[in-house]
Amino acid sequence: MWATARYRALGVVCRRWRQHSFSSLRELPPKVGVTLFPQHAPSAPSHTTETSALSPPLLAAGGERVFQWERPPRNVLLLKKMHDEKVELALDDLIKHFRDQYPDVNLIVEAPVYEQLLDKHPTLTPLHSHEHSLLAEKTDFVVTLGGDGSILHASSLFDQSAVPPILSFSMGTLGFLLPYDIQSFPEAIADVVEGKFSLLLRMRLRMTLWDNETDQQLGLKGEDACREMHFMNEVVLHRGSEPHMTTMDAFVNGEHLTRTIADGLIVSTPTGSTAYSLSAGGPIVHPTVSTMMLTPISPRSLSFRTILLPSDATVEISVSEGARSPAEVSVDGRVVRCLCPNQSVYVEMSPYPMPCINFPPELAARRRCGTLPDRREPTVVHDDWVHDINTLLRFNASFLSRHGGVPSAHGCGVDAAVSRRRWEKRRDAQSKAGPA
């Protein structure tokens, strides 16, 4: 109730949306402004950046940022995994919580979900396909219920603009991207509304398609106008349904890197390093590392291995003039166009990263584990990514399992806690000893 009281005390004019709803995004008020500054910088005006959108230059560098609302958020986008009864029940509880505790907040859902919940929750605002361009102007933050696919879907809704902060609850097959337990949603929502969180900025990439003969930009599948696309994991140029390998040329900053005959080439972000690139033999990269990876898919040459490139590089992958067939371009698992010989993909770092909501370690421990059945205290994790490649991806599990050292799911196991205490003890001892 404290959060609700403070929320209303911040000067928001209270309007009961139980009696009023918006039928279109155009009717919603614009999103509120935010203040950002680096995680470890002093909170002084000289270190702050005020902006109404999560946009460059501060965000392009990635990393973690301290976040503050200029006033309480007003518009929240709710995204859920489809055709899952457990998720549908959780969404119903989430909507009721917002209506009880934050009646001034407008809740946006996709059109199919709106039609499904119209009778039960008539105050929801539908997101129609023709209004996607308005979404970035209206949405203060996003809540996802599902797995990592739901977060990728959220990224696709903002594939040409800045992405609002995203709070993800793990209710899918895999919850590697900051997976919070759905049982903790009342406390998590209160912290977000109060601005008690930071943003982990996951790098995205920007892609455009070109015809090399005419030097004309190509449109994407289903699009009348040419446009660029911003994505979270990877872009893949691959043979598609063709039975044989394709021939491609790779360029870095305009310089010819190599010609390869392979099933395809992947250009991925550090976040995408644990997705398709990993399955193709690429390395695992920490999400705060500013780099992009070029990974071949089943190349004919045994000497072609993954290359890590600087984040400010421009990568071009072209279907070679002598290629036997076209190639498909896929972005985060979606086919966007078929390219013919002498057509190419241009990839560079996007100025709009993926801002994932992150809580302080002590709070994040409970947000990740929910309510523990045996009343044990959850393990405090200071690096979620290192923790998750062990608990979720089972990093090097074939060796750890021999000693019983694979931590339990969500980082609530005894082994993780013991390891953490040992690390902290050694760190403190070194700090007291001082320099040698």
Q: Quick one: how far is CA 102 from the chain centroid?
A: 26
Is residue 385 within 8 Å of residue 330, measured between CB atoms?
no
Give the three-class secondary structure for 155.
Answer: helix
Dist CA 11 CA 6 (whole Å): 9
Cβ contacts of residue 387 below 8 Å, gap of 6+?
381, 407, 411, 416
List 84, 92, 100, 148, catalytic entry: 148
Q: Give the residue carrying structure tokens 């797995």.
A: 147
In order of 60, 234, 333, 432, 433, the CA distances from 161 in angstroms are 13, 17, 20, 48, 50
Is residue 340 within 8 Å of residue 246, measured between CB atoms?
no
End-to-end Cα, the chain, rounded Å = 52
332: left (phi over 0), alpha (psi -120 to 50) or beta: left
Q: Quick one: how far is CA 330 from the chain centroid?
A: 18
Provide the token pair at 133. 């361009």
Is residue 379 within 8 Å of residue 413, measured between CB atoms?
yes
Give the three-class secondary structure for 117.
Answer: helix
Is residue 378 within 8 Å of residue 369, measured between CB atoms?
yes
Give the three-class secondary structure for 90.
Answer: helix
Cβ contacts of residue 329 below 8 Å, gap of 6+?
207, 209, 235, 236, 237, 335, 336, 337, 338, 339, 345
Provide the token pair at 357. 């909501």
191 belongs to the catalytic site: no
Dist CA 132 CA 47 (whole Å): 33
* C-alpha torsion 176→67→14→131, nearest 10: -60
In terms of C-beta density within 10 A (0-12 exposed, 13-18 middle, 19 or more buried), how is residue 38 classed?
A: middle
Q: Which residues have a catalytic role annotated? A: 148
